[in-house]
Amino acid sequence: MIKGPKGAPDILPDKSEKIKLVIDKLRNFVEKFGYREIILPIFEHSEVFERTVGEETDIVQKEMYTFYDKGGRKLCLRPEGTAQVVRSYLENNLKQLPQPVKLYYFGPMFRYEKPQKGRFREFYHFGIEALGEDSPKLDVEIIYIAIKSLEFLGLKDLFIYINSIGDIEERIKYKEDLKNYLFDKIDLLCEDCKKRLNTNPLRVLDCKNEKCIRVTENSPKILDYLSEESKKHFEIILNKLDKLKIPYKLNHRLVRGLDYYNRTVFEVISEDLGSQNAVLGGGRYDYLSNYLQGEKVPGVGFAIGVERLILILETKNLIQDKKRKIISITPLNKDFYEESFYFYLYFGSKGFNVLFPYNFKNLKESISYSLKRDARYLIIYGGDELKDGYLIVKDLKKETQFKVKKDEIIKYLQEVEDD
């Protein structure tokens, strides 16, 4: 038997219905703040990510699904959405719209990672981006929406890890000092970080290896290297978060695994996720558009890892599936099979959730078939009642039975209370 690719789990209906419920809520929530959906291709020119996410990042170095198409173009399955959204903003000249342009997206992302709990090779992002405005108010709005949208789904006691990584200039000096600090302790670092130290020492701060975490605990802090402007930007954000009573923790080691960020970076962490504990990550990326050879388009946003979010919601029993009112239609006996099947199709076309016993044997079996599939009502099609223009309806929950005029049954079942 041929199996599906590793790390790309099939999403079966029980799960996909939960995802739909959650995503519908998130869509509604962000749309209230003026974010509108953008649907972008699943494959992109690899360059879009190489230039922005960064040549030295794990994503670009190890995790991209890159391929050449028949025209010899170097493409990849997108590993994330932000660079792609900025590419689209530039290409479609969205700067002619009133700024900021507020966008959201939901769709699959691809990273060749080692699959484990909460980590897949194909996974879903729900993300929002606000482009064309560098005010710290937008950082606050984005962080506010991040926390409040998760609260809206029922999650409590969340907090944000936040840091400012300054602008490009400020990081040059910082990287130098960090590198020197870490060089003295190189033997204590993991093998990957020994290499990272030369290419991009910031990535050492991001490493999840216990040894590296210990080494970086007292390393130089980026906040001490910020320019006056970057400091002010960060202070304004923290001030407003205080006023809004949004809980956060400063984390000087938070640099994020993508290179395009400047100034604000943040993550929401959940203990329920084990080592893969970030449910959401985001930040500001005012230079990303420059890396794509476009003009400067400041931006800020976040993306939620949808599988991780669902995992937490499931652990906390916070996804309540709305019970659908299912109406089962059965022939009274085999003589009415054909006609009742057409009636079932007609009923479905009127917007009901319908069910039909394809291998009808007798009424008793139809009842148990309907009960097993959670039907609420069973319409019995046929007999003298039908001759008189009536149908028998069984309420399978209340175990009652009544007659309804055939001509009025649609209206009746549309209006009946679902208690």
Q: Which is nearer to ligand HAM, 50 or 129 (CB)?
A: 129
**For residue 121, what is the DSSP state?**
S
In the list 283, 331, 357, 382, the residue contacting ligand HAM (rule: CB under 6 A) is: 283
Site for ligand HAM in 219-258 (CB under 6 A): 257-258
Among 30, 48, 81, 380, binds ligand HAM (CB under 6 A): 81
**Order of strands, sheet of 264-269, starting from the edge strand that comes earlier in the sequence:** 36-37, 101-110, 122-131, 299-305, 278-284, 264-269, 160-164, 248-250
Q: Does residue 390 belong to the site contacting ligand HAM (CB under 6 A)?
A: no
Alpha carbon separation from 335 to 201, 307, 340, 407 (Å, rounded): 78, 49, 10, 21
Q: Determine, following the binding rule CB under 6 A, whether residue 54 of this chain makes contact with ligand HAM.
A: no
Instruction: Find the residue with minimal CB distance to ligand HAM.
Output: 305
Number of residues interacting with ligand HAM: please give it, by CB under 6 A.
Answer: 26
Only segment of 39-47, 95-103, 117-125, 394-402 that touches ligand HAM (CB under 6 A): 117-125
Contact 301, 282 (CB under 8 A): yes
C-beta of 201 vs 305, nearer to ligand HAM: 305
Give the one residue of 104, 120, 369, 390 binding ligand HAM; rule: CB under 6 A: 120
Q: In angstroms, what is the minimal distance from the CB of 229 to ligand HAM?
A: 21
Between 81 and 357, whose beta carbon lies closer to ligand HAM?
81
Q: Rounded to the nearest 10 degrees, what angle do helices 191-199 and 168-183 cross at?
A: 140
Among 145, 193, 303, 354, which residue interacts with ligand HAM (rule: CB under 6 A)?
303
Interface pattern 124-143 for ligand HAM (x via CB under 6 A): -x-x-x--------------
Q: Which of 50, 80, 170, 206 binds ligand HAM (CB under 6 A)?
A: 80
| Helices assigned H by DSSP within 316-352 | 337-349
Report how far residue 90's alpha carbon sits from residue 77's, in angstroms, rounded to the nearest whole number: 20
Contacts of 12 (CB under 8 A, 6+ apart): none
Give the Cα separation of 147 and 127 in Å (integer): 13
Q: Which stretch, 91-99, 123-131, 243-251, 387-395, contacts ligand HAM (CB under 6 A)?
A: 123-131
Determine if 166 is a binding residue for ligand HAM (CB under 6 A).
no
Least distance in angstroms from the C-beta of 202 to ligand HAM? 15
**Per rule CB under 6 A, is residue 394 in the interface with ligand HAM?**
no
Count of positions (residues) in the chain: 419
Q: Rg of the chain over CA atoms, in angstroms?
A: 28
Mark out the alpha helices in 257-381 (DSSP H runs).
288-291, 306-315, 337-349, 363-372
CA distances from 68 to 43, 45, 342 (A): 11, 10, 50
Which of 51, 111, 196, 203 touches ligand HAM by CB under 6 A?
111
For the chain, report the end-to-end CA distance as a whole number of angstroms.
45
In degrees and rounded to multiples of 5, residue 297 shows phi and psi of -130, 100
Q: Which is nearer to ligand HAM, 201 or 301 (CB)?
A: 301
Q: According to the binding rule CB under 6 A, does residue 279 interact with ligand HAM?
A: yes
How far apart (Å, rounded) are the C-alpha atoms in residues 128 and 150? 14
- Residue of the chain from 119, 196, 203, 233 that contacts ligand HAM (CB under 6 A): 119
* From 96-104, 181-189, 222-230, 281-289, span contacting ligand HAM (CB under 6 A): 281-289
Q: Which stretch binds ligand HAM (CB under 6 A): 32-40, 118-126, 341-349, 408-416?
A: 118-126
Q: Which alpha helices (H) appear in 82-190, and where do they start and end?
A: 82-91, 136-152, 168-183
Strands 299-305 and 65-68, sheet pairing: unpaired
To the nearest whole angstrom, how small is the minimum distance from the Cβ of residue 136 to ligand HAM?
Answer: 15
Contacts with ligand HAM by CB under 6 A lie at 80-82, 111, 113, 118-120, 123, 125, 127, 129, 257-258, 278-283, 301-303, 305, 307-308
